[in-house]
Amino acid sequence: MSTDSEPVTKEELRTALDELILVAYENGVDVDNGGYALRHEDPELPDWEVVVTKTTKQGTPDN
């Protein structure tokens, strides 16, 4: 990542999201199968919706 630990590439963003979701999961936050609306009051900033879906690992039998 960049020197100030803010993502400046898509790969750095993916890594930062992965780290954030893993920490939340390890802290008991129910992060899977949910949408997160990210709304901003500043009209110059776009709004986003982030969807987190838990998937089955390849080679792992379905439960």
Q: What is the mean pLDDT of each run of 10 residues along the chain (63 residues)?
A: 76 95 94 89 97 86 62
Asked if 31 and 37 touch (Cβ cutoff 8 Å), the reply is no
pLDDT for res 4: 63
Length of the chain: 63
pLDDT for res 46: 98
pLDDT for res 63: 55
CA 34, CA 58: separation in Å to the nearest integer? Answer: 22
